[in-house]
Amino acid sequence: MKTHSELGNPVHIAMSLIGGRWKGEILFQLMDHGMLRFAEMQRLIPGISQKMLTRQLRALEHDGLVRRLVYPQVPPKVEYSLTDTGRTLQPVLTALRDWGKDHGAPRVGKILSAENPLSGETPNPE
Amino acid sequence: MKTHSELGNPVHIAMSLIGGRWKGEILFQLMDHGMLRFAEMQRLIPGISQKMLTRQLRALEHDGLVRRLVYPQVPPKVEYSLTDTGRTLQPVLTALRDWGKDHGAPRVGKILSAENPLSGETPNPE
DNA sequence: CCGTATCCGAGCCGATACTG
DNA sequence: CAGTATCGGCTCGGATACGG
C-alpha cells in the first residue's frame, strides 16, 4: 500500500511518460526521420550523452512509445522508430512545442519586463 | 561557454515550465475555478503537501503563469489565479490530459500484453 | 557501434514539525 | 490560514572510463 502517489491524474501520467530533458526532442526526431540509429540520434540531438540517450530510449521503449530493432551484427546496429502509440503523441508534442515557441522562450531565464510587474499586490479587501 | 544545456528547444522549455508532478493539476484547478485560495487548492488536489503546493505555485508565479494576490489581513488570505499567459496553456494541457486518458493510463505501471510482445527483435539484415 | 559502470552534484518530492 | 524549515530518498543529468 502506497501512502500517496495515487497516480490517477492523466496529465501527470502523460508527463511521466514524455517529460524530462530529452524525451520530447527524441520523439520529435523519430517523427521527422521515421527510423534512426543510435549514433544518428546523438548527432541530431546536440548535447545529449550516451547515458541519457540510452536511458531515455529504454524508458520510452518500456512505455511502449518507441520500438527497438537490434541487428545481430558486428559491429552492432540498432534502429529506433515510433510505435503506433508513439505516433499518437504528435499533436501533443506539437502543441507543447508551439506553446514553447510563443510564450515560453521569451520568459525563460529572463523575467518579464512590462507585462506583470507586480507580484504580491495588496488590494483593499472590502 | 556552456558545454551543454543549449536550451533552445521549445518542447523542453514548455516542459520546464509546466512539467513535474503537480503543475498540470494546479493549472487545471485554476482553469476550472478561476480563483482559488491556498487551502482550497490543497483540498482539490489530494496528496499534495504544503511544501510542494507552495513551491510549485511560486515557480508558476515566477514564470508568469499564475498571479498571486495577497490580502494583508489576519488571518492571512491569498488568492491564486491564472495570468493571461497561463490561460494560453489550456489547449496544451487538455491535449496532455486527453492523451493520458486514452493511451497513458492502460500502460502505466502495467506493461503491454499483446500489442508489442517482442523487444529487441532480430531480423534478417540483407 | 552501441552501449554499461561509476562518480558526482542538483533538484524533485514526500513526511513531519514549526511559525506569524 | 498560509506558509517555512528540515530531513531523507530518489531520479535527473553531466563527465568520464570501460566493454562486447
Contact (CB, 8 A) for B21 and A12: yes
Residue identified by cell 546536440 is A46
Determine the Cα–Cα distance for residues A108 and A95; give it in Å rounded to an integer: 18
pLDDT single digits (tens) B77-109: 999 999 999 999 999 999 999 999 988 666 664
Query: With a threshold of 0.75, does the pTM exceed it?
Result: yes
B22 nearest nt, CA–C1' = C13
Q: Give the separation between CA A56 and CA B126, rounded to whole angstroms.
A: 29
Covered bases, chain D (protein CB within 7 Å): 1-6, 12-17, 20
Query: What letter represents residue B118's amino acid?
Result: L
Q: Which nucleotide is nearest to B78 (CA to C1')?
A: D2
Are B9 and A17 within 8 A, CB to CB?
no
Contacting residues for B88 by C-beta, under 8 A, at least 6 apart: A99, A102, A103
Fold of B4-117: Arc Repressor Mutant, subunit A (1.10.10)
Summarised one tens digit per residue, pLDDT across range B27-59 is 999 999 999 999 999 999 999 999 999 999 999
In terms of pLDDT, which residue wins out, B37 or B9? Answer: B37
**In this predicted model, which residue has the larger pLDDT, A47 or B121?**
A47
Query: What is the percent of chain B where pLDDT is above 70?
Result: 76
Note the CA–C1' distance, B110 to D11, in angstroms.
20
Query: Which nucleotide is the nearest neighbour of B54, by CA and C1'?
Result: D3
A62 touches strand D (CB under 7 A): no
Average pLDDT per 10 consecutive residues for chain A, totaling 126 residues: 56 93 96 97 95 96 96 95 97 94 67 42 46
Domain boundaries, chain B: 4-117
| Residue B71 near residue B79, CB atoms below 8 Å | yes
Separate counts of helices (H) and strands (E) for chain A? 7, 3
- Any atom of strand D under 7 A from CB of A51? yes
Counted across chains A and B, CB pairs separated by less than 8 A come out at: 171
Interface contact A35, partner B, CB < 8 A: no
Contacts (Cβ under 8 Å, ≥6 apart) of B61: A119, B67, B68
Burial of A31 (0-12, 13-18, 19+ CB in 10 A): middle
User: Where on strand C do bases come within 7 A of a protein Cβ?
Assistant: 1-6, 12-17, 20
Cell of B31: 482553469
Q: Which of A19, A39, A21, A20 minimizes the C-alpha distance to A80?
A: A39
Output the nine-digit C-alpha cell for B65.
Answer: 503563469
Answer for the pair A38, A80: CB distance below 8 angstroms, yes or no. Answer: yes
Return the pLDDT at B93.
95
Q: Give the gap in angstroms from C-alpha A61 to the nearest C-alpha of chain B.
A: 8
